[in-house]
Structure 1
């Protein structure tokens, strides 16, 4: 067959009409497979689509959320009494709050000239010519003066710089960790609004008056079973739930995510819409360069008429509060769409059984001959006997048994 004839035949066959043909196959094995696959498909859709995924509901996944956090607690650190102003940054805030667990302090820094840290690139020198005046190394601490001086009380020399002196690496004082912080609490207030359904919920237990509410919030501590509506979380509890060692967090710091999940079935009373909490370490512990959590800040003052500062490098826990919400409610449109989809998917049973019938059963040639018919209507000839036989059933109906075709 040439290319022209092939294209012509393909073009003409494109306009053929195909219609299903009903054929009853009296084969118990094939019938058992057919009904079993039907049962499995229907069961899957009922369980997964309607029960698990609740496909009969209209849903909303982008709620409006508000978060307020507050750190609470008092600790004795040497001769100092620390409150939230000392160890919480900020002491109250939004969806991010941190607490200081360990400090490295550099006291009495002043503007002046001193030796650069010896581990900074090209900081070591032997003569003044090794130090370029005015050069600034952005990995270092200041601007070079062009002099090569002794590195504090050591025998080697580094380039002199203009900066806050003495530099942190030389004069830092490492304080012991604030172990009492394990009993600090963080207050997390979260409200969530599903505008499509006009539902507003909060994570704090309702009370009849402000006095009862204040008394409850002062004493309660969150517990998944006993106090699911208490918004006060111990730092020790958060670390345990995130599977972290609190002593290690005191040494390196860390970022922990507090995940608040609202999964609300609004076919029930809105009071059943309750939050669930989960906790997970967010910074990469395996990557030493980016693991842990710390930040620097300074306290400025005037000493003998000269501006001075105390530089503090603070290690601690940063809590990132992340809110997820999903709400669903019955709606006829998704119910109809899901039902039609489920009914349509039952058609896969016929496809599977047809494949088995035409491939594996012994009499597949007999089934194939009955399964596919090609009917050509001749305009000058009356209806063929075979076509009259088929039409007499109204729906192109034929019957096959395990033996001779009927």
Structure 2
């Protein structure tokens, strides 16, 4: 009975780590060096660089409006934004035409299929299945095998817009003057968590209209200007502008807002980055182009001019991060820093007991084994006493309160 009472009463014992002063200069230098590294890490990186004292938001609400500006002389024609910019109303995606392949005066009718289309070549009508539609073809086969325009070979006749594009398309020269076209990107951002909005680029300029008509973006001198030359965008994306004129391409415009809301929000400015988005390894699918048509009536018959346009497509992608002081993350980060200093004690204890304590002098003084004062048979050691001793040893090893001094007698 007295043994059971010992178990019960031992549960309510208070346990405290033992503080031992070790006068060893080497161990003391290691201890202070590790302390210095831990404290420096938390002060410089966690609090100053990462601003761990702030609450943050990484999903802002954003609005993007784009507009292309510039004119160019193309042969006998003057091209303005209506001619080369798509879409005209702007948005987070805008493209400009750099080169065109035009097929004039197409009309609904029957004509020879292009010879590169699968199963289009023939010698007799039996080679052409009437009503068959080829996935890569231009229309429905009529069942006739006809001469391919002014050539000597024949292909299957199809019902489609004639003449077919690949045969009659006229390739126009590239619009090299587009290198000086400018793209106006207006971006407004809002952080609903902090109820901070209407952060606009170029918001600190007085005469806004005059400023926007003259400025061009420069990372150092004009970081708020939202006007970008196409040549500058291609250069920042490490692309050759002449090659883009030939094949077209998709370029991402990445706008990143990193805002410290502990200061005036007007000091929050965007940073821009540019990168090619379409895959260039696959030459068959690389580049960017699209088709559109201009319809009209010719002698009472509906006709069209088909245009295959190659150009640069800009995808505007907005990211944002805002931070503001908050007591909760400040307390959590401070407690984490203070607790992490305890790792210095664990490291030095391990060094002391593993490499320095050759004669087990430290371990004898560090760990005390005290016998239970209860009446317990010596042949049946108290389970609670053993558990109690193991717990004390574990806590002593892992305690953050153990201090170490420099020097050894």
Band the TM-score falls in, shorter-chain normalisation: 0.7 to 0.9
CA contact (8 A) 2:357 2:363 kept: no
Quote the offset at 1:373 in angstroms. Answer: 4.1
TM-score with structure 2 setting the length: 0.86
Give the secondary structure class of the aligned counterpart of 2:28: helix
Q: 1:133 to 1:375 in 2, by over 3 A?
A: farther
Task: Select 1:306's aligned residue among 294, 298, 301.
Answer: 301
Q: Distance in 2 between matches of 1:250 and 1:68?
A: 24
Task: Select 1:344's aligned residue among 339, 344, 347.
Answer: 339
Cross-structure match for 1:359: 354
CA contact (8 A) 1:252 1:315 kept: yes
Quote the offset at 1:25 in angstroms. Answer: 2.1
Q: 1:52 to 1:364 in 2, by over 3 A?
A: farther
CA contact (8 A) 2:67 2:183 kept: yes
Q: 1:285 to 1:396 in 2, by over 3 A?
A: closer
Q: Distance in 2 between matches of 1:324 and 1:236?
A: 24
Is structure 2 residue 226 aligned with structure 1 residue 231? yes
CA contact (8 A) 2:31 2:404 kept: no
Give the secondary structure class of the aligned counterpart of 2:228: strand
Q: 1:195 to 1:178 in 2, by over 3 A?
A: same
Cross-structure match for 2:91: 94
Give the secondary structure class of the aligned counterpart of 1:238: helix
Quote the offset at 1:20 in angstroms. Answer: 3.6
Show structure 2 runs of 5+ residues with no match.
1-12, 377-388, 393-400
Q: 1:289 to 1:354 in 2, by over 3 A?
A: farther
Quote the offset at 1:204 in angstroms. Answer: 2.5
Give the secondary structure class of the aligned counterpart of 1:22: coil
Q: Distance in 1 between matches of 2:270 and 2:140?
A: 54
CA contact (8 A) 2:84 2:96 kept: yes
Quote the offset at 1:113 in angstroms. Answer: 1.2
Cross-structure match for 2:135: 138
CA contact (8 A) 2:102 2:305 kept: yes
CA contact (8 A) 2:60 2:189 kept: yes
Cross-structure match for 2:191: 194
Count of matched residue pairs: 375
Is structure 2 residue 326 aligned with structure 1 residue 328? no
Quote the offset at 1:207 in angstroms. Answer: 4.8
1:189-235 per-residue CA deviation (whole Å, 9 max, x = no partner) reads 11111122222210134455xxx332222222222222222221111
CA contact (8 A) 1:357 1:364 kept: no
Cross-structure match for 1:168: 165
Cross-structure match for 1:181: 178
Q: Distance in 1 between matches of 2:107 and 2:287?
A: 29
Quote the offset at 1:364 in angstroms. Answer: 5.9
CA contact (8 A) 1:358 1:364 kept: no
Higher relative contact order (CA 8 A, sep 6+): 2
TM-score with structure 1 setting the length: 0.86
RMSD: 2.6
Q: Distance in 1 between matches of 2:408 and 2:76?
A: 97
Is structure 2 residue 282 aligned with structure 1 residue 284? no
Q: Distance in 2 between matches of 1:135 and 1:239?
A: 45
Cross-structure match for 2:36: 39
Q: Distance in 2 between matches of 1:110 and 1:364?
A: 103
Give the secondary structure class of the aligned counterpart of 2:281: coil
